[in-house]
Structure formats: structure tokens, C-alpha cells
Amino acid sequence: MKKTTAFSIAMAMTAISASASDVVLDVWTARIGAKIPATMYGIFFEDINYGADGGLYAEMIKNRSFEFPQNLQGWRVLGDIKVMEDGPFFRNPHYVRMIPSGHRDKATAIENEGFFGVSFEKGKKYRFSIWARVPDGGPDKIRVELCDPASDIDWTDMARAQITIDSGEWKKYTVTLEPSHTAENGVVRLFLDRDSKHPVDVEHVSLFPVDTWNGHENGMRRDLAQALADLKPGVFRFSGGCIVEGTTETDRYQWKNTVGPVENRPLNRNRWEDCFTNRLAADYYQSRGLGFYDYFLLAEEIGAAPLPVLNVGMVCQYQNNPEDHTPLDSLESYIQDALDLVEFANGDVSTKWGALRAEMGHPAPFGLKYMAVGNEQWGPEYVKHLAPFVKAIRKQHPEIKIIGSSGPGVDDDKFNYLWPEMARLGVDLVDEHYYRDEDWFLGNATRYDSYSRKNPKVFAGEYACHPKGNKRNLYKGALSEAAFMTGLERNADIVNMCTYAPLFANVNGWQWRPDLIWFDNFNTMLTDSYEIQRLYSLYKGTDVIPVTMNGKPAAGKEGQHGIYASGVCDSNADSYIVKVASRPLERL
């Protein structure tokens, strides 16, 4: 091999292995290969492990619209409380009528337990809002309190506010509460005034920290969103995962139910309510307070390309039979949802869906470029379902890159069947998922070195090392993910994006692990895998450049060597990773 332009880095390997000798790495800077796409390292958000309600979504009240099947789930009641069902928001029709006892010492009240407690902090501000009316005209008063039942501090000192409900018509009332104490397992209490004479109706009872991510009122937890922003992701895949498919057709993810006024977004049963574990999450519902508008906005604010995943007319194949899928001749509304989503994200404000985006606060287009259709679907049914989507999207939106699925595995019959089919359908990228052990990840660091360069590009859409015998976030798991990612970036000419999964887990209510970021109501815990993601994303290369070690390819095949090299130093040494950057050298 003739060096044209190269610089050499001599590395004393003794620091790594006492028996190893010096090696010379040559970085062939004149042989620039593929550009490493901006989308290379991204994030994937799914509402699993209480990732949305009880997680990223900063709402602190559980079952705020009284729409859980047991309408008062999450609430304790005192006195005469009636659940009504002719409320002002037709897709969430239930509300609560609080009826006065007629005696000042007999209270009428409701109390919300929050998500694993209502956790509030001294010195912070919280925005309480409620829709209410006095059906017979009133006026009357209600009182809201933040309380800590475990504390011996006088509850009345915590935070309280009185609200006068002055109308027989439904109206939104808002007050700001500033607790004088911190409580981890607090509650929110709502009392009818002790001198009350009139029933008061309440609906959509909501409590948010004022300090949300970028101050958005229907906002996200600042710390969790910041953890995402700190990754500087190039792509943001949402909203699933299995929840896109649904356990049944009814509870599949439908983006149109997640936009518009939050009060009227219908509740959905979460597909992760009891899966895989014995931890029955009987209160795991999706308020859809966090919806597609919010995801697009977050993508924009953290500089990531939005990548929505849409249902292809098929329910989760693990949980259903072929006859449970939507028949091929009934896919029209599903396909229309895909086309309308492009209009919602990119359309002019004079269009129906573009106008809704503008009304929600974002007249400028979101710049949608990618769309995945189907998650982990497989078999000929998937191909038949996907084909009309591809045709319609290509016809109306040739600018959109379509992502197809290769099924849930990466070395089985389903996978081997789907790849050629995806190529035949002409999708732009194929989504591959890997939840494997450390041997698999280390062994697959070279996976893409020999992939066909003629097929669609690869999106490593879900991956995480599940260490053998111990499915936890372990350092060796994170390290083997790093080795694998090295191979992704080295093959950036065909692997255009990758996203770890799952992203979030609430320590008090998870269904799946390992996960990238753990949290409780106050704290965020970033894992080793997170640090690997951050390292790779922040120090992503710009171009693939050949690297040789002592004159031989450092990794991969001739002509495909990247700016990274990974491998075994010698037979006595542990696996290690050499990260070589052609510029700037300070990154080493």
C-alpha cells in the first residue's frame, strides 16, 4: 500500500498490556471515504418504563381527566363526590362533581397520589390549573393544597391557594403554588370551601413545575430533556416501538389523537402495562399530553431530525394472529394518516394540518424528512401492508425517506426474508434491532464491513447490550456497545443512523432493562451506556478515513477502515478500543 498522505501515531501499548510491543497507526488523510451523516447518533423515545406520563412529561397529576377505566383511580375521595360523563371535552367526557355536605366541619375533597408520589421542592414554583364550573351559577370556592402526609409539618404551611369559581360555564383557572417544604411522596388535595353552598364541577386537574424544559407550559421535565439535549442527537425516533403497534388495533399509537388541545386528547391504554414482568402496572395509561407536536418541537430544540414511526395497519405480531391485522383493502385511513403527518409537519399554514401546527404555536415547518412505517413487523403480511404506503408516500411526497422494518431479529428467517423484500419495495433505510449479549456486540463490531453496498441504507433503530445472565446496565455492556458503534461509524456509507433503546426508565415502575437513563421524581441517573452515547455523538467523525496498524488494516476490510479501530491487542490482553481521530488530535 502506498502512502499518499498519512500521519502516524506511535502508541506504547504497555499501558494496556505489559506484553505488547509498540504499534504504529497510520491515518490516511488523503483517502477520504464516506461522510459521516449528521443523523449518525440519535435517540429513540418510547413510552415504556413510565417514560412519558410519570417521566419526561412533567404533568404531576395521575388520571387528571378522570378517564381511567376506574374513573377515580389515583384519587382518594372524601364526602359526596360524583363522577359525571357529559363534560366539555368530548373525547374525555368524564369529570367530577363535588357536592357540599351542608356542614362546615364535613369536608368534600379529592386527593391525587401523583406518579409514585407528588414530589415538590421548597423554593420552586408549580402551576396548578383546573377546568371548573358551578352548574347552578355560583359563585363558589375551592382550595388546592400541596401536602406531605408523611411529614409532621402543619400541612396548611406547605402550599395552598383558594380559587373562586365564578361561572356556570366551564372555564380554566390557574394559580401558582410555592411550597415551603420539600416532599417526595406528597399529594395534591382539592377541597370544596367549607362554607360552600353549591356543587362544583372539576375537570382536567393539572399540576406542572413552572420550570419545564424551555419553559413550555405543557412541558417536559427540564432535567430529563436536558439529558437528551446533552447527547446532541442527530436524529430523534418516536413514539415507539411496540406502542406504535398496540396490543389491539384500538390502542395502537394514532398521532392525530396526540395533537390539538391537551384536554381533548383521548386516553390510551399502554401496551407496556404488564408485559414481561410480574410488575403489573395497572395504572399505566397514556394521557397523550406528550404528543407529536411536542416531539417535533423537542427534535427542533435539540437539533435532531424528527423520525416518526407509524402503524402499518398491523398490530403486535407477538400478541396477535394474522387475521387481527387491518385487511389490505381497509388501509386507506392509515395511509392518509401518513400523508397528513407530512402536512402537519411541513405543510403550509393554509392546509388543514399545517393550520393546526400553526395554531399550536409553530407556523414554520418542522422539516420532516424521514418516516418509518411499521415497527418490528415481519412476514409477507408486512410486505403487503407496506407496499401501498410506499406507493402513496412516493407519489405525494418523494422528498420523504421511508424506513422499513427487518423484523425483531437480525439473523433469523424473518430477517433474511425481509431484507430483499425491503430492497424490492425500494425503501430508503431498513431498521434493524439488536438486544443481544456482550459477545454478540463485540463479535458484530465488523457486522457491516461486508454488507452489500447496493441495498437500502441501515438504521440501527434499537439496540442495547443485555449482558449474559444479568440484564442490567453494566460497564462491560456499555463497552461492548461502544465496540459495535465503532463498526457502525466505520461503515457510515451504509449505516446512516443508530438509536439505543429504551431511553428512559423510572426506578419505581420499569418494565424493561437495561435502559439509557434512569430517574425518579427528583433525580436523573445517567448510565455508562449514556456516557458512551455522549462520547460517540459529541466526538463523531466527519469522514471515514483508512487507518492501518503496523501496515495492516486496523479494522474492517481494505478500503473500509474508519477513523476508529477496535480489536484485540494480543492473545494475552483484554479487548480494548483505540479511538483515533484524524482531527482534531486533542480529542484523543
Q: Which is nearer to ligand AHR, 48 or 190 (CB)?
A: 48
- Dihedral over alpha carbons 570, 576, 582, 585 (to 10 degrees): -110
Interface residue with ligand AHR among 33, 138, 347, 502 (CB under 6 A) is 502
40-79 footprint of ligand AHR as x/- string (CB under 6 A): ------x-x-------------------------------
CB of 14 to ligand AHR, least distance (A): 41
CB–CB of 274/292 below 8 Å? no
Interface of this chain with ligand AHR, residues 260 to 289, rule: CB under 6 A: none
509-548 footprint of ligand AHR as x/- string (CB under 6 A): ---x------------------------------------
Backbone phi, then psi, for 221, in 5-degree steps? Answer: -60, 130
CA distance 67 to 84: 11
CA distance 204 to 222: 23
Q: Which is nearer to ligand AHR, 44 or 366 (CB)?
A: 44
CB of 44 to ligand AHR, least distance (A): 8
Q: Which of 242, 216, 230 is nearest to 295 (CA)?
A: 216
Catalytic residues: 376
Q: Is 92 in the site for ligand AHR (CB under 6 A)?
A: no
Interface of this chain with ligand AHR, residues 413 to 452, rule: CB under 6 A: 433
CB–CB of 270/243 below 8 Å? yes
Q: Is 242 in the site for ligand AHR (CB under 6 A)?
A: yes
CB of 379 to ligand AHR, least distance (A): 16
CB of 7 to ligand AHR, least distance (A): 42
CA distance 420 to 252: 28
Q: Which is nearer to ligand AHR, 40 or 501 (CB)?
A: 501
CA distance 3 to 559: 13
Q: Which stretch binds ligand AHR (CB under 6 A): 29-37, 240-248, 337-345, 551-559?
A: 240-248
Q: Is 474 in the site for ligand AHR (CB under 6 A)?
A: no
CA distance 480 to 79: 58
Peptide bond into 209 cis (omega under 30): no
Q: Which is nearer to ligand AHR, 234 or 502 (CB)?
A: 502
Question: Which residue minimizes CB distance to ligand AHR?
Answer: 241
CB–CB of 234/305 below 8 Å? yes
Cell 454488507 sits on residue: 451
Q: Is 463 in the site for ligand AHR (CB under 6 A)?
A: no
Q: Which is nearer to ligand AHR, 74 or 477 (CB)?
A: 477
Q: How many residues does the chain have?
A: 588
Interface residue with ligand AHR among 186, 407, 408, 509 (CB under 6 A) is 408
CB of 464 to ligand AHR, least distance (A): 8
Peptide bond into 241 cis (omega under 30): yes
Q: Which is nearer to ligand AHR, 402 or 503 (CB)?
A: 503
Q: Which is nearer to ligand AHR, 120 or 272 (CB)?
A: 272
Q: Is 501 in the site for ligand AHR (CB under 6 A)?
A: yes
Q: Which stretch binds ligand AHR (CB under 6 A): 125-133, 239-247, 394-402, 567-575?
A: 239-247
Cα–Cα separations (whole angstroms), residue 73 to 1, 111, 200, 522:
71, 11, 20, 24
358-397 footprint of ligand AHR as x/- string (CB under 6 A): -----------------xx---------------------
Peptide bond into 149 cis (omega under 30): no
Joined grid coordinates for residue 310: 407509524
CB–CB of 258/266 below 8 Å? no
Residue 452 amino acid letter: S
CB of 259 to ligand AHR, least distance (A): 22
Joined grid coordinates for residue 502: 429504551
Q: Say how many residues touch ligand AHR, by CB under 6 A.
A: 13
CB of 375 to ligand AHR, least distance (A): 5
Q: Which of 219, 164, 167 is nearest to 196 (CA)?
A: 164
CA distance 166 to 164: 6
**Over 426-447, what HEC string results?**
CCCEEEEEEEECHHHHHHHHHH
Footprint of ligand AHR (CB under 6 A): 46, 48, 240-242, 375-376, 408, 433, 462, 501-502, 512
